[in-house]
């Protein structure tokens, strides 16, 4: 009978140096892949950071342009209230009742400056604000946001002062004349017109209309609310000036950090 011998399947153990070499090769392969992936992620984040910086700068430039409109516009609105107050302070007959009615109608207009903060809001909601490495820029953006909050607090006060004047204007002025001042127009307001509280569907009334009541107490109350609102406008102007300074400073920092002078 033929006898089959099984092959010897036992191998001689490898020298420990070969095991060490294999381990080192595997370790290096894994680490190389890890570093390559980390580097790709780093490049991706730096690219996103630059894109966000460009977008933030565009928003800040838009804010600068609008602030250059809103600051003088609020001065105009405060001056209009001052003129209206001067008409109301005159006892009896007013020489320019047409302008008094026009300013009284404009005084109820409530318009607010809205910053271009879409990029910042998107970065905060997505957690990508962390991509901005410059602590100075982050602090500048947070300070700007705080200034906006302070401005909005003043807007709330001004809005309440505006509403308080409504019934007094209705009691002292002829509402039928206000109604005749309204014209139909499809023209859109410019940013400057909106900022100054102007309207494209209101015109001065003809003739020289007067107050329907000479009630001194009501006139005094209306003057008080108009005065308070004028003071709020002046406070808003101070906040807007601070915002403009902050925006200009942020643009300089972003230009320097990301070399965006030409973008």
Structural domain range at position 156 = 16-258
CA distance 225 to 229: 6
| Weakly modelled stretches of the chain, pLDDT under 50 | 1
* Residue 4 forms part of a structural domain: no
Q: How many domains does the chain have?
A: 1
Q: Report the candidate in 118, 121, 108 with the shortest Cα–Cα distance to residue 181.
A: 108
pLDDT of residue 165: 95
Query: Is 8 within the bounds of a domain?
Result: no
- How far apart are the C-alpha atoms of 189 and 106, rounded to whole Å? 14
* pLDDT score recorded for residue 201: 81
Are the C-beta atoms of 212 and 173 separated by less than 8 Å?
yes
Answer yes or no: is 108 within a domain: yes
- Domain-located, residue 243: yes
The tens digit of pLDDT for each residue in 52-72 reads 899 999 999 999 999 999 999
Residue 1 lies in a domain: no
pLDDT value, residue 205 = 95
Q: Long-range contacts of range 124-129, CB-CB < 8 Å, 24 or more positions apart?
A: 128/48, 128/52
Give the Cα-Cα-Cα angle 189, 191, 196 (nearest 5 degrees).
85
Closest CA to 230 of 161, 135, 178: 161
Q: Report pLDDT digits (tens) over 151-160.
A: 999 999 999 9
6 within some domain? no
pTM above 0.75, yes or no: yes
In a domain, 5, yes or no: no
Q: pLDDT at position 68, please?
A: 95
> Which H or E run contains 262?
none
Residue 96 lies in a domain: yes
Listing DSSP states for 91-112 in one string gives -S--TTHHHHHHHHHHTT----
The pLDDT value recorded for residue 162 is: 92
């Amino acid at each position: 009978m033929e006898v089959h011998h099984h092959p010897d399947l036992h191998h001689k153990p490898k020298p420990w140096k070969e095991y060490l070499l294999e381990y080192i090769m595997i370790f290096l392969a894994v680490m190389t892949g890890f570093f390559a992936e980390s580097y790709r992620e780093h490049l991706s984040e730096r690219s996103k950071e630059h894109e966000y910086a460009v977008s933030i700068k565009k928003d800040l430039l838009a804010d600068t342009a609008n602030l250059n409109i809103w600051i003088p516009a609020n001065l105009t609105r405060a001056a209009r209230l001052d003129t209206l107050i001067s008409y109301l302070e005159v006892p009896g007959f007013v020489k320019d009742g047409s302008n008094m009615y026009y300013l009284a109608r404009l005084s109820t207009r409530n318009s607010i400056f809205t910053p271009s903060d879409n990029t910042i809001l998107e970065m905060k909601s997505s957690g990508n604000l962390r991509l901005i490495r410059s602590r100075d820029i982050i602090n500048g953006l947070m300070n700007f946001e705080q200034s906006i909050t302070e401005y909005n607090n003043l807007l709330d006060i001004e809005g309440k002062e505006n509403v308080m004047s409504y019934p007094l204007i209705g009691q002292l002025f002829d509402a039928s004349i206000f109604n005749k001042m309204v014209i139909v127009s499809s023209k859109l307001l410019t940013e400057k017109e909106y900022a100054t509280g102007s309207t494209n569907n209101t015109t001065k009334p003809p003739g020289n209309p007067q107050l329907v009541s000479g009630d001194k107490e009501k006139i005094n109350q209306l003057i008080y609310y108009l005065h308070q609102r004028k003071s709020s406008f002046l406070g808003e102007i101070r906040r807007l000036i601070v915002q403009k300074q902050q925006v200009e400073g942020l643009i300089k920092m972003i230009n320097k950090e990301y070399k965006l002078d030409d973008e």
